[in-house]
Amino acid sequence: MTITWKEYKTYAEAMDCQNCLYLHEWNGEPFYWGHTTTFFGGNARLSPMGKRRAPRYAASYRHWVEGALRHGARLFIGVPDENSLSRLADIERYLIIRFRSSENLKVRRPEDDSGLDSMTHVGCVPDVLRG
């Protein structure tokens, strides 16, 4: 299982990312982990299958994401390899448990944690994942 990470400097750059994990990082530490099976931001749009899909951070959240970035936060988005896309929720839960943050206080264990310990991170990897 491989996760390819990229750092985004603005909401506009990140809003079209889909089927991904994300990390809001503050002072080199995880602030908030999440995942979305839709789009990261922007307005609702149609999927390739013709379904209307709402983003995780709709346009009304733009000010929050941009404000956090302007005040020192960093935004990383990770896309799992094709074979792992169906496991986004389990990957997110694993990352929250393994790399705790101040904002992810309640988390369930992954339903299936097989292979999560051997996850590989490539690209612009967040500091916390570099070990």
Q: What is the pLDDT of residues 44-88, one digit of tens each?
A: 666 667 777 666 666 667 788 889 899 999 999 999 999 998 999
User: What pTM was computed for the model?
Assistant: 0.84
What is the Cα–Cα distance from 29 to 24, expressed in whole angstroms?
Answer: 9
pLDDT, residue 30, reads 93
Beta pairing partners, 21: 35, 78
- The DSSP string of 71-89 is TT-EEEEEEE-GGGGGGHH
Tokens of 77: 């988005």
What is the count of structural domains for the chain? 1
| 1 vs 110, residue with greater confidence | 1
β-strand pairing of 41-42 with 57-58? parallel
CA distances from 113 to 1, 23, 32, 88, 107 (A): 12, 20, 21, 12, 14
pLDDT digits (tens, 9 = 90+) for 17-51: 888 999 999 998 999 898 988 776 766 666 667 77
CA dihedral 19, 12, 93, 98 (to 10 degrees): 130
| 10 vs 56, residue with greater confidence | 10
Confidence of residue 8 (pLDDT cuts 50, 70, 90): very high
> What is the extent of the structural domain holding 48?
2-130
Classify each residue of 43-81 as buried b or exposed e, where b means 16 or more C-beta atoms within 10 Å of its C-beta: eeeeeeeeeeeebbbeeeebeebeebbeeebbbbbbbbe
pLDDT, residue 9, reads 96
User: For 47, what's the count of Cα atoms within 13 Å in the CB-facing half-sphere?
Assistant: 11
